Amino acid sequence: MTTQRRNFLKTAALGAGIVASGAMATGGCDKKSEIKAQVAKNPGPQKRNMCGFRAEPIPTVRVGIVGLGMRGGGAVGRLSKIPGCKIVALCDLRPEKVKNAVARLNKDAKSPPAPKSSALYSGEEGWKAMCERDDLDLIYICTPWRWHTPMAVYAMKNGKHAATEVPAATTIDEAWELVNTSEATGKHCVILENCCYDFFEMMTLNMARQGAFGDVMYGEGAYIHQLVGLNFSQKGYQGMWRLNQNFTKDGNLYPTHGFGPVAQIMNINRGDRLDFISSQSTADVTMFEEAKKRAAKDAFYKPYAKNQYRGQMNNTMVKTKNGKSILIQHDVSSPRPYSRIHLVSGTKGIARKWPSQKIALSGHKFETQDDATRGGTKIVSAHRWLDPNQMKQIKAQFEHPLTKKIGKWARSVGGHGGMDTIMDYRLIHCLRNGQPVDMDCYDAAAWSCIMPLSEWSVANRSNSIDVPDFTRGAWRKNIPLAIVQ
């Protein structure tokens, strides 16, 4: 038996559930009563409010990174270039990934020296040993989804702040565990939602704060990204973990990229909160057909050709307590161009990022070059999209101060056009200066819980299901995310 085959069987048995006969288990979408029970559970009183919480300033943030594959490898390069950040320890299941990260740091003349050999960890339990070190302030988690909550919780219980890739939790119980641990320890639990720091999203947040859209009542977000080839590749996600997720769950498996930026604009957990959701999936075609085609040529894929996958397109509608609505879409198997949609609609206008950046505003004044227009201004109507010259003026007027200051540098460092670097820079800045983080444990829980709740709704004929109030009522007084300088 090959090493790849052994890794597949081990990972699938742990995460996706291959039963003894070799057939796949039905997965989370059929656990109707379990998810309902998690939602109804009484979590007890709030120990402390982590929204707006200020931890002690850390002049130099000492970081340990766990998971050095696709996302973690990039994080090593970015964090090594951020002022006031020091990479002290590295960890990955595979020793070769640790060696690659060390080589990357040593090769870059502008990066600080790589961690010492005594701070390099690998194997099944290496991450625990790293979290137990007394010379770390932040554990930065870039592992497969099933490890995000266990690692973040262990880090906080060992006195470290935790920052985890998305989704931060895969069950309601995990979401509550993140919240309860963050409150109990007074340690930040940050969801690393990089899309909140993309340039257009930050501009629309600034526009919303300045009232350009009026009262924002509706939004759309998505993760539409053709990943069939990567998900089925034996050289892609370690142990085929992401394919296993798509094989055993039916719902919105990856909601936060599209949802996070809209949630910030709508002040979710900070003046409003999620009330209930309803979710619907189409039938699957592409994934199952791909599995059968590959299984006919390679026995490795036979376990994956035994039953249908999650739906091709999932649509999840979210209602807020203040009567607002958000549509979140998920499709990683249709042959479509990439899109996160990012649509923000208010009483005075609308913005949409994909398929092309468009804005329409009602009553906004623009400078004009038209000699026939007296006063050199023109008042526009929201019935038409702004023209290129007006878009240029809007971007100059409402560019977020953070992208204005470090945007050029962030693009040079890289990471999805620079947004990853802005996210990391902002996190380290907040920790260094004892400022509240932009995305706290309540955001991590509320944004991530869309996955299990959508699974329940799909499995129950799209019936609605309540979203827990992870703030325990504090959303009514929490202050909206500010436009930082």
Rounded to the nearest integer, the mean pLDDT of the chain is 92
Task: Give me the pLDDT at residue 31, please.
Answer: 61
**Rounded Cα gap, residues 480 and 267, in angstroms:** 6
Q: Is the pLDDT of residue 148 over 70?
A: yes
Amino acid at residue number 174: E
Range with the lowest mean pLDDT among 28-32, 53-57, 464-468? 28-32
The DSSP letter of residue 171 is S
Q: Is the pLDDT of residue 392 over 70?
A: yes
Strand bridging mode 349-352 / 343-346: antiparallel
Q: Domain locations in the chain?
A: 61-165, 197-401
- Give every CB contact of residue 189 below 8 A, 6+ residues apart in sequence: 50, 152, 156, 161, 162, 163, 164, 168, 178, 179, 181, 182, 440, 441, 444
Q: Which CATH architecture has domain 61-165?
A: 3-Layer(aba) Sandwich (3.40)
Higher pLDDT, 112 or 139: 139
**CA-based torsion, 4, 5, 9, 10: positive or negative:** negative
Judge if the upstream peptide bond of residue 480 is cis by omega within 30 degrees of 0.
no
Tokens 């992870």, located at residue: 470
* 70-79 helix and 419-433 helix, angle to the nearest 10 degrees: 60
> What are the pLDDT digits (tens) for 192-218?
999 999 999 999 999 999 999 999 999
Mean pLDDT of 465-475: 98
Range with the lowest mean pLDDT among 41-50, 312-321, 367-376? 367-376
Contact 449, 172 (CB under 8 A): yes
Long-range contacts of 410-417 (CB under 8 A, 24+ apart): 413/77, 413/78, 413/81, 414/74, 414/77, 414/78, 415/74, 415/78, 415/194, 416/194, 416/198, 417/198, 417/199
Q: Is the pLDDT of residue 22 over 50?
A: no
| Beta bridge pairs of residue 284 | none
The pLDDT > 90 percentage for the chain reads 87
**Rounded Cα gap, residues 219 and 447, in angstroms:** 14
Nearest Cα to Cα of residue 245 among 258, 231, 259 = 231
Q: Which CATH architecture has domain 197-401?
A: 2-Layer Sandwich (3.30)
| Beta bridge pairs of residue 223 | 330
> What are the pLDDT digits (tens) for 370-379?
655 555 789 9
**Rounded Cα gap, residues 20 and 461, in angstroms:** 30
* Reported pTM: 0.93
Mean pLDDT of 460-466: 97
Contact 96, 73 (CB under 8 A): no
Backbone angles phi, psi at 405, to 5 degrees: -80, -45
**Rounded Cα gap, residues 168 and 149, in angstroms:** 6
Task: Give me the pLDDT at residue 65, please.
Answer: 98
